[in-house]
Amino acid sequence: MENCKAVIEALILASEAPLALEKICAILEEVEKTEVKKSVEQLIAEYNERQSGIYLAEIAGGFQFRTRPELSLWVKKLKGTKQASLSPAALETLAIVAYRQPIVKSEVESIRGVDVSAPLKGLLDKNLIRIVGRKDVPGKPIIYGTTKKFLEVFNLKNLSELPTLREFKELNEQTEAIQDFSNS
């Protein structure tokens, strides 16, 4: 198919949610998956090279056209000023759920050191996290995980694309400090 790239471009634009590679392949039956993948990569490169107002982003396991972040000022003028940002408490709770999922409330609380009922409820209402089940321990606590919408909102390809958590010095290094202390 010669116009494969153009078809893919049209499909991605017309799709409401990020369009998965598998879905494109299902539509373009006769085209090889590797060919589709190559075309998508070409499209991404072309949009980047052209420095146009939109770029082709890989989001939540699919592809979607998005406006460039540096143009947000202008687009916001079009969209109005409504901007629902997350509180620091909600953001921290979300980060813990994202990195440590599947996770129960008590585990989130032991990291934050405070009650997280309110931020968890807010995140559920915003559809950024979801209930994935109940843990098989006494009390059957609810297990939380992030949603596809979380990936869409935070511009993530998948969960492994989350920025790596800063590692802290491990126990053996801590023991050194302890020895220092006991010597002094």
Partner 1 sequence: MADETTDYAIKLDIFEGPLDLLLYLIKKNEIDIYNIPIALVTEQYLQYLKIIKSLNLDLAGEYLVMASTLIHIKSRMLLPVPDEPSDEETEEDPRAELVRQLLEHQAFKEAATALEMRPLLERDVFTRAAQISDKAENLSDNDDDLIEVNIFELIEAFHRLVSRIDKKELMEIDLEKLSITDIINDIMERLSRDKNITFEELLGEKRDRRRIVYTFLAILELIKMRMIKAYQTAAFGVIRIFPAVES
Distance CA 19, CA 38 (A): 15
At closest approach, how far in Å is the CB of 164 from partner 1?
9
Binding residues for partner 1, rule: CB under 8 A, are: 13, 16-17, 57, 64-69, 72, 75, 79, 83-86, 88-89, 91-92, 94-96, 98-99, 110-115, 124, 127, 130-131, 134, 142, 147-149, 152-156, 162-163, 165-169, 173-175, 177-178, 180-182
**Nearest-CA neighbor of 62 among 18, 25, 22, 28?**
18
- Cβ 131 to partner 1 shortest distance, Å: 6
The backbone torsions φ and ψ at residue 33, rounded to the nearest 5 degrees and listed phi first, read -60, -40
- Residue 4 or 98 having the CB closest to partner 1: 98
Q: How far is CA 168 from CA 49, 127, 173, 175, 180, in A?
A: 39, 31, 10, 14, 19
Residue whose CB is less far from partner 1, 37 or 66: 66
Tokens of 148: 């596809």
Q: Of the two residues 1 and 117, which places its CB atom closer to partner 1 in the complex?
A: 117
- Dig out the tokens for 6 from the structure: 């153009």
Minimum CB distance to partner 1, residue 5 (Å): 19
Q: Report the Cα 64 to chain-centroid distance in Å.
A: 14
- Pick between residue 39 and residue 146 the one whose CB is nearest to partner 1: 146
Smaller CB separation from partner 1, 7 or 86? 86
Paired tokens of 17: 């949610």
Instruction: Name the minimum Å distance from CB 45 to partner 1.
Output: 19
**Cβ of residue 182: shortest distance to partner 1, in angstroms?**
5
Q: How many helices (H) and strands (E) does the chain have?
A: 9, 5
